[in-house]
Amino acid sequence: MRMVKDLKNKHNLSLVGLIKTKRRVVTRFDVERIWGYVGAGWEYVESDGASGGLLMIWDELFFKLNNCYKGERWLCVEGVLLKNSFHCAFFLVYGAHNREERSHVWEELSYIAGLCQVPCCFMGDFNEIVNVEEWKGIVNLPLSVEEFKIWMQDMHLVDLPLTDRKFTWFRDRSGSRIDRAMVSIEWLEEFPETRLRGGPRGLSDHYPIIVEYKRVRGGPRPFRSLDSWFTHEGFLRMVKEDWRGLGELQFTENLKALTRPLGRWHKDNFGEMDKKILRLEEEIKKVDDMVSNGVYDGTIEARRRALVTCCERWYTRKEIHWKQMSRSRQAKEMDRNTRYFHNIASARRRNNRIDALIVNGR
């Protein structure tokens, strides 16, 4: 308990989940010893085994509990983050050791997430990997891996990358990354800078994993040409005119000088794409309402065709933009699910960010 209390205080944790507590029963006294003061909410899943159950503790100024669901190998608390009135659910999971039982756990979690109908954060020991690099020494993946990946995709979960270590579990020469945290797309839309890192292992076989939300200021942005620009009839003309006006500069200097006028042009022509599409859709609806009320002639039909053509053009531009930003191989022609591509792009940026450098051991 001392180790958990020190970890909680050092990292200023607002919620703690403990798996295999080594206790069949947990009391309010135990919780206060871990948390350090009165004012903690908690839920516990009892276990008959020697390894103990699952315990979740949270600061009641951080999270207000609405509902709690319990299974043999999982614990779910659903409620509200008080700071921003965000309705969500936290799942603490201890995956089974055999394939059939794990599949049963995934089914139970899907059902409970459906009951909650809120953004979710799943964390714990899933006893499962997603690629060969996550288990030291193996060459072939077990069949259960594909089932786990399909479950994650069906649940629309993003597996948070662990950037400061390769494995989370060690025993003798073995090592694997069976501990993980996954969040729903809606969660990332609310907290786009959600990160995952490891804590000190101490005497345990497992490293604790820490989910945190921390805004990190980025460095200067590199010059980037957007594919969607080339769908605009005035783009190349604008570039040619501005390029001629730059004079005899080096190529890289010309690109740097072109950044400002390109930024203004992008804002004027591609800014607020969603609002442009919404306005066009509203205009199309107005025309449809007129036709429904018996107002129809050649002018009305020509206006509707023009609005539909313009709206399709903006759909295509938006799709091209987010395909490029996500670099997703799963993108299909005319796929309008840009929300998915947006969150893949966000996850890629988080994974590629350099938080720290080690030079000569410092």
| pLDDT value of position 334 | 46
| pLDDT value of position 328 | 45
Alpha-carbon span 118 to 86, nearest angstrom:
9
55-112 confidence digits (pLDDT tens): 999 999 999 999 999 999 999 999 999 999 999 999 999 999 899 999 999 999 999 9
| pLDDT value of position 329 | 43
- Whether residues 116 and 255 fall in one domain: no
Domain holding 86, by residue range, is 2-213
| Average pLDDT, 10 consecutive residues per value, the chain (362 residues) | 83 92 84 84 81 90 95 95 95 93 94 95 95 89 92 92 89 90 92 89 87 67 75 84 76 77 83 83 84 79 86 85 62 51 63 75 82
- Whether residues 293 and 162 fall in one domain: no
Alpha-carbon span 162 to 324, nearest angstrom:
25
- Whether residues 151 and 28 fall in one domain: yes
- Whether residues 203 and 293 fall in one domain: no
Is there a domain that residue 95 lies in? yes
- Whether residues 233 and 168 fall in one domain: no
Number of domains in the chain: 2
Is there a domain that residue 264 lies in? yes
The three-class DSSP label of residue 346 is helix
Angle of CA points 345, 347, 352, to nearest 5°: 95
Is there a domain that residue 340 lies in? no
Is there a domain that residue 267 lies in? yes
- Whether residues 97 and 126 fall in one domain: yes
Alpha-carbon span 265 to 242, nearest angstrom:
11
- Whether residues 187 and 267 fall in one domain: no
- Whether residues 256 and 177 fall in one domain: no
| HSE-CB for 275 with a 13 A CA cutoff | 4
Question: Using CA atoms in the order 211, 213, 216, 218, what is the torsion angle rounded to 10 degrees?
Answer: 80
| pLDDT value of position 331 | 45
